[in-house]
Amino acid sequence: MSVNVSQNVQAIRKKLGFSEEQVSTYLGVTRSVLRKYESNTDSIPFDVFDKLSNLYGVDMSVFFEENMDVPLPDNLTEELFQTLIKRGYITMKNIQEEYLIANKIAASVHLYQRQNIKRFYFIVNYNCNFRCPYCYENLISNKGKSWSKQIMTYEMADKVFQCMEAIEPDKNKHSKEIILYGGEPLMKDNVEIINYIVRKGSFLGYNFNAICNGYDLELFENLLGKGLIEKLQITLDGDEKYHNKRRFHYKHGGSFSKIINNIQLALNKGVYVRVRSNIDKNNIESVKKLLEEFKTYGFYNYKNFSFYPALLENHATSLINSSLEKHLDFLPTCDFEEISNLFLKRKGDYALLISHAINNKKPIYLQPTHCGANKGIYIFDPVGDIYSCLEVIGMEGQVIGHYDNGLTWTKLYESWKGRSVNKIPECSKCRYALICGGGCSARVIEKGLNTPNCNNFPIVLELNARKAYQEIGMKY
């Protein structure tokens, strides 16, 4: 099939609803010259293709496609045309002007986010009573067992509360939920310090969410409830047989049945319990069995119970416990998006974003950064260091500040908190930038924080868009 480039130039203009006057004005030529371009390919200078590509928001190669001679829809109605202009889908700006506007938006939104809500985490210790094959925390520091077994003291806990006010004097900008993390925060060795932190935090107007394994939870029963520990995230990686292979107590072995009993305890106390399963290729069937078992346990009868699958990722191969690596087989992100539907009617974060925008007739919430690590998250460990991301805690090279002798920041502070798509060269010219946010910072620390982590984002977004539209279609 021969390619009629002039016909393509005209067809694209008409398909997008541009008039001859609008395009000729943009190109700086008369309408008669434009008509010549649209009837005689040999008359079109190369720089005109470049300008039209910018105007129409298409790759230059589109003008040379063979199938563009297929009849195109008639011109858009004036009402629809004006709506598309108003929403920015049709613009008279060139691509460089578009980049500039997108980067200004990213910078503005990021500044607003950094100046608002602050979220605080207590790492009460780095030690854990489990030995999971995919956990990196016991291997990251190479500082020995004595270091990892340090527990946050009362004095250090007091300093954390003081630093929270130093970081943000306006308490209205503090998240009222403090996260307890580890290691394992709710283990037997931590009963006293957790009691102290939770009681003091509650007095100051905070409540708590603990990310834990649930094994020693019964020892913290007195702290479960309104105004204290109100939420728990507990991990089960499948049914009892499979879970006990991957998540076992270092001394007592299998942990499944004890965790199930403690989930029941927390639910009865009115605590919101979110069960997480770390998914790879090996435990898909086992997690499906687990969900069926939840029915037997009666967990779905509680409004304060939920489940979510999480992709198990190997972003630091050297940190995986090699002796237990046989239990792991990592999934690509795009495969996980499909497989997660096997467990429950899960839309995914981006599907929620899209469906919320459509259902509420509001713009999609813009994300100049991937997560709170580049905005308002502050993580305090037991030895006086401050981090921005849970996945790099304990790594000396990722400390953003110190609080043991007053609040001080390192040179890395701005590298983490300043990371935004407008500062990452590849992202600053990417069509997905303000939805993707540049990807996970922890995945690129070896390359540098000004590097993007795309992680198949175009595929993931398309899958989520399909999920969103399928659900919307079912409603109507």
Share of the chain above pLDDT 90, in %: 52
Q: Report how far residue 462's alpha carbon sits from residue 168's, in angstroms, rounded to the nearest whole number.
A: 39
pLDDT reading at 318 higher than 50: no
How far from each other are the two terminal CA atoms of the chain, in whole angstroms? 42
* pLDDT tens readout for residues 256-309: 999 999 999 999 999 999 999 988 888 888 998 999 999 999 999 999 999 988
20-49 burial by CB neighbour count: b if 16+ within 10 A, else e? Answer: beebbebbeeeeeebeebbeebeebeeebb
Q: Report how far residue 391's alpha carbon sits from residue 162's, in angstroms, rounded to the nearest whole number.
A: 25
210 near 178, Cβ under 8 Å?
A: no
Mean pLDDT is lowest, of 168-172, 199-203, 245-249, for 245-249
Consecutive H or E run containing 306: strand 305-311
Once rounded to an integer, what is the mean pLDDT over residues 192-199?
98
Mean pLDDT is lowest, of 322-336, 346-360, 363-377, for 322-336
* pLDDT tens readout for residues 226-244: 999 999 999 999 999 999 9
* Residue type at 259 in one-letter notation: I
Quickly list H helices, 116-177. Answer: 145-148, 154-167
pLDDT reading at 338 higher than 80: no
Give the pairing of strands 377-380 and 385-387: antiparallel
Once rounded to an integer, what is the mean pLDDT over residues 17-37?
88
pLDDT at residue 339 in the model: 56
pLDDT at residue 359 in the model: 85
CA 8 to each of CA 58, 61, 113, 459: distance values in angstroms, whole numbers, following the listed order: 12, 11, 44, 28
* pLDDT tens readout for residues 394-447: 888 999 999 999 999 999 999 999 999 999 999 999 989 999 999 999 999 989
Once rounded to an integer, what is the mean pLDDT over residues 367-377?
95
Q: Report how far residue 195's alpha carbon sits from residue 173's, in angstroms, rounded to the nearest whole number.
A: 25
pLDDT reading at 7 higher than 90: no
Mean pLDDT is lowest, of 145-149, 246-250, 262-266, for 145-149
**DSSP secondary structure code for residue 283 in this structure:** S
pLDDT reading at 137 higher than 80: no
Q: Report how far residue 469's alpha carbon sits from residue 417's, in angstroms, rounded to the nearest whole number.
A: 34
**DSSP secondary structure code for residue 189 in this structure:** G
**DSSP secondary structure code for residue 190 in this structure:** G
pLDDT at residue 283 in the model: 86
pLDDT reading at 255 higher than 80: yes
pLDDT reading at 23 higher than 80: yes
Residue 233's nearest CA partner among 186, 292, 175, 176 is: 186
